[in-house]
């Protein structure tokens, strides 16, 4: 007999909300467009607070380190929120059913129901609180089975998340020696002006076409991955993807060789990824506050690449096409960068920029001349 039906029903509602939210976040491998989601509200408020405190840190390095903690910590706390919600829901159902338990000492109360729910959910089975009614025993059996399954799913979920993160970072790390740190489109194209470089560039675009598809699939199904930041300075999945989009736009608008077709394919799936991720994170697309590619920088890119045998079209039609391509993705990557507190890359590297592999913990840089010769003889 249910003595407090209101409390019992509230417990059932909490159980359904939490369990369905965990099911959507962990098991259901697709994007969920439902407006109300516990995980969505959780990440909205916690990320907003975390980012606020991060902006109070003056040191860029320490700020990035602080932001890097958010992804793993938020994931662990979200699992904790689900577990606490489920324990409370079963405790409320036990209480609504009349607290039909026999504690070893004292009288039944909500705290006793909460204790029974916690020990049952985490499969401790201490036996000091025993249910003595049919519905109470039924709830204990259901909760013990559900708790066991929940813990089993979590054990399989965490390795998958970290495996997806490692897979994402592999191509980003490889881009270091190919496009500089942080990666830029101008440097990427310049470092592929060697004999056979266009073919190597085509292969790189093909790799990033697949990488973008994997990013789209994994980050739509598991948005928490977007909060996991790269382990190296001046690297991020947003800046790397933007640099690839920049390079594809330059290639499509400025050349007609065989590499341009692969650039189109890579551009299409990469733009698809950033557009869909903006929808997931409710990031409204808007143009960057400052033009990322001023005319003088574009002229420098064309002149530098021309000196190394890669001629980009320098016509009003090419400029118009490049502008149209940029309008297709820049508002989206800018919105994502703003939401996730990343910086977009420039089109050419700074004068004092060094690749990550050229620096060590014991010296600021390795031999500059020798190191540069391993990658290219000239740079912007």
**Interval 126-160: pLDDT, tens:** 777 878 888 888 998 999 999 989 888 888 888 88
Closest C-alpha among 334, 207, 189, 232 to residue 275? 334
Closest C-alpha among 90, 113, 87, 88 to residue 100? 113
My answer on whether 327 and 264 are in the same domain is yes
Q: What is the pTM of this model?
A: 0.85
In degrees, to the nearest 5, what angle opens at C-alpha 67 toward C-alphas 64 and 69? 115
Asked whether residue 152 is assigned to any structural domain, the reply reads: no
My answer on whether 239 and 342 are in the same domain is yes
Asked whether residue 305 is assigned to any structural domain, the reply reads: yes
How many CA within 13 A on the CB side of residue 234?
18
- Give 210's contacts (C-beta < 8 A, 6+ positions apart): none
Element (H, E) at 130: strand 129-131
- Pick the residue with more confidence: 127 or 21? 21
The pLDDT assigned to 255 comes to 85
My answer on whether 44 and 104 are in the same domain is yes
My answer on whether 296 and 352 are in the same domain is yes
My answer on whether 368 and 226 are in the same domain is yes
Q: Residue 18 — very low, low, confident or very high, per pLDDT cuts 50/70/90? A: very high
Q: State which of 117, 132, 147 marks the end of a domain.
A: 132
The pLDDT assigned to 36 comes to 55
- Span 211-230, average pLDDT: 92
Closest C-alpha among 237, 238, 259 to residue 248? 259
My answer on whether 358 and 233 are in the same domain is yes
My answer on whether 173 and 242 are in the same domain is yes
The single residue listed with the structure tokens 């098991």 is 27
Domain that holds residue 52: 5-132
CB 27 within 8 A of CB 153: yes
Per-residue tokens: 366: 């390795």
At residue 368, does pLDDT exceed 60?
Answer: no
CA distance 115 to 358: 56
The fraction of the chain above a pLDDT of 90, given in percent, is 51
Asked whether residue 154 is assigned to any structural domain, the reply reads: no
Q: State which of 88, 116, 132 marks the end of a domain.
A: 132
My answer on whether 170 and 42 are in the same domain is no
**First-to-final CA distance of the chain:** 79
My answer on whether 217 and 365 are in the same domain is yes
CB atoms within 10 A of CB 187: 29
Q: Residue 378 — very low, low, confident or very high, per pLDDT cuts 50/70/90? A: low
What one-character-per-residue DSSP string does 89-107 give? HHHHHHHHTT--EEESSS-
My answer on whether 339 and 235 are in the same domain is yes
My answer on whether 190 and 306 are in the same domain is yes
Asked whether residue 141 is assigned to any structural domain, the reply reads: no
Domain count across the chain:
2
Asked whether residue 226 is assigned to any structural domain, the reply reads: yes
Q: Any idea how long the chain is? A: 380
Closest C-alpha among 76, 74, 6, 82 to residue 45? 74
- Span 21-29, average pLDDT: 81
Highest-scoring range by mean pLDDT, 6-20, 61-75, 182-196, 326-340: 326-340
- Span 91-100, average pLDDT: 85
Asked whether residue 380 is assigned to any structural domain, the reply reads: no
My answer on whether 211 and 91 are in the same domain is no
Asked whether residue 242 is assigned to any structural domain, the reply reads: yes
Per-residue tokens: 236: 């991020």
The pLDDT assigned to 27 comes to 79
The single residue listed with the structure tokens 């793993």 is 72
């Amino acid at each position: 007999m249910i003595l407090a039906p209101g409390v019992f029903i509230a417990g059932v509602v909490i159980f359904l909300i939490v369990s369905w939210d965990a099911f959507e976040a962990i098991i259901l491998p697709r994007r969920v467009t439902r407006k109300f989601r516990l995980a969505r509200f959780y990440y909205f408020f916690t990320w907003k607070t975390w980012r606020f405190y991060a902006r109070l840190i003056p040191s860029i390095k320490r700020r990035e380190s602080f932001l890097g903690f958010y992804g793993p910590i938020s994931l662990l706390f979200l699992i904790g929120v689900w577990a606490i919600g489920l324990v409370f829901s079963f405790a409320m159902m036990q209480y609504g059913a009349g607290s039909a338990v026999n504690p070893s000492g004292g009288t039944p109360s909500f705290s006793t129901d909460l204790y029974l729910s916690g020990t049952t959910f985490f499969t401790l089975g201490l036996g000091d609180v025993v249910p003595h009614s049919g519905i109470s025993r039924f709830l204990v059996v259901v909760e013990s089975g559900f708790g066991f399954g929940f813990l089993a799913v979590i054990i399989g979920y965490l390795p998958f998340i970290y495996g997806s993160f490692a897979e994402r970072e592999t191509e980003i790390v490889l881009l270091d020696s190919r496009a500089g740190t942080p990666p830029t489109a101008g440097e990427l194209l310049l470092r592929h002006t060697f004999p056979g470089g266009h073919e190597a560039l085509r292969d790189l675009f093909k790799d990033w076409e697949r990488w973008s598809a994997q990013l789209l699939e994994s980050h739509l199904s598991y948005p928490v991955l977007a909060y996991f930041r790269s382990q190296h300075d001046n690297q991020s999945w947003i800046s790397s993807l933007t640099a690839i989009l920049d390079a594809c736009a330059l290639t499509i608008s400025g050349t007609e060789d065989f590499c341009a077709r692969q650039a189109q394919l890579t551009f299409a799936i990469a733009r698809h990824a950033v557009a869909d991720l903006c929808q997931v994170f409710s990031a409204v697309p808007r143009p960057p506050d400052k033009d990322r590619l001023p005319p003088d920088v574009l002229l420098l890119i064309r002149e530098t690449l021309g000196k190394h045998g890669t001629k980009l079209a320098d016509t009003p039609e090419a400029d118009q096409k490049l502008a149209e391509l940029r309008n297709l993705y820049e508002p989206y990557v800018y919105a994502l960068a703003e939401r996730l507190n990343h910086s977009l890359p420039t089109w050419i590297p700074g004068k004092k920029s060094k690749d990550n592999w050229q620096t060590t913990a014991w010296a600021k840089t390795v031999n500059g001349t020798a190191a540069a010769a391993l990658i290219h003889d000239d740079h912007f």
